[in-house]
Structure 1
Amino acid sequence: MKNISERPIRPKIELWDSVGLGLIIEYPSGILFSNQTGGFSCLHPSVEGIYVPLNNDYSEPEKRFLSPEIDLAKYFEGQKYGGSGATKGIDAEDILVITEILKKYSLNEVIIVDTNKSKMQQSHEAWIYVKILNLYLLDGFSKELNGIMTWSNSD
């Protein structure tokens, strides 16, 4: 029997300093990805996978950052949650708002919020479980992929 201290340590990448919306594709990569999430609760969930930035841009003339992260952060910092992070999970109203944000950035045909009750309960600010419909950046992967949509935490 192996000693616990002999177990291989899995590498982990902390996304705390990343900017913009990203997608962690659940995939047996051997690498864990984590982010600080959940508003001022400062949760640190992690999942094994592959990280892909999604739909982030910069407008040079206006010197303005363009990303779904901005709208998502405003929503979770807004009246309903006030930065508390939705740590008890998301609901149908949240899914409608997130879906509208995805549509605004033409991501609604790429990813959708996972409406499985368990995934809704595990979702919170900056850590939303999604189903990947058509990720144009991927080639040779299974057709049925799941992931986590993540962005900078509001704390």
Structure 2
Amino acid sequence: MSTLPLIRLYDSASLGLILLWPTGILYSNQAGGSFCLQPQAEGAFLPLVDELVAQAELLHQHFTGPKWRGACANGIDEETAQEIERILGLSFVTRELGVRVDRARLGESHEAWVYVEVPAQPENRSVCLERIPASQGILTWPNSD
């Protein structure tokens, strides 16, 4: 059991990105739909808020729709990865970051906890990050449970 400080994102109302980084702080969120998983990861949390595009709501609709019915806890497939990337492309904020679903970790991803690849963010490239090397992260949002 870890002794690192833990921040629970259960009450977060929007999309966010956990950059996997040795920060000494763990983040957790309810995930997996009705399975109510509580995964944890060490990193830095970046809220991804765009008041013009309700990305968290669009993701909620996808995962509660006919394909997953609110029960996605055993990995996602290529079709869902493409839908997540389509939704990320709707917002200037997430489109600018260039985040892509990590195809090597589809089996470890589930509703509200999707492993992603984050390209390097040099100076003056993105709206949110600067001087960040290429890294991995977790895209997270309110679970549909």
Q: TM-score if structure 1 supplies the norm length? A: 0.82
Give ranges in structure 2 of 5+ residues lacking alignment.
none
CA distance in 2, matches of 1:80, 1:14: 28
Which structure 2 residues correspond to residues 47-62 of structure 1 after superposition, within 5 A?
A: 47-57=41-51
CA distance in 2, matches of 1:26, 1:42: 22
Contact 1:55 1:105 in 2 (8 A): no
Give ranges in structure 1 of 5+ residues lacking alignment.
1-6, 60-65
Contact 1:130 1:148 in 2 (8 A): yes
Residue 109 of structure 2 corresponds to which residue in structure 1?
A: 123
Which structure 2 residues correspond to residues 105-144 of structure 1 after superposition, within 5 A?
A: 105-106=91-92, 107-110=94-97, 111-116=99-104, 119-133=105-119, 134=121, 135-142=126-133, 144=134
CA distance in 2, matches of 1:41, 1:50: 25
Residue 3 of structure 1 corresponds to which residue in structure 2?
A: none
Which structure 2 residues correspond to residues 1-155 of structure 1 after superposition, within 5 A?
A: 9-57=3-51, 66-84=53-71, 86-106=72-92, 107-110=94-97, 111-116=99-104, 119-133=105-119, 134=121, 135-142=126-133, 144-155=134-145
CA distance in 2, matches of 1:37, 1:74: 15
What do you get for the CA RMSD once the two structures are aligned? 1.8
CA distance in 2, matches of 1:87, 1:151: 14
CA distance in 2, matches of 1:95, 1:77: 15
Q: Secondary structure at the match of 2:138?
A: strand
Q: TM-score if structure 2 supplies the norm length? A: 0.88
- AA aligned to 1:10 is L
- AA aligned to 2:42 is E
**Structure 1 stretches of at least 4 aligned residues deviating more than 6 Å after TM superposition:** none
CA distance in 2, matches of 1:87, 1:8: 23
Counterparts in 2 of 1:74 and 1:138: CA distance versus 1, 3 Å: same
- AA aligned to 1:127 is W
CA distance in 2, matches of 1:131, 1:50: 15
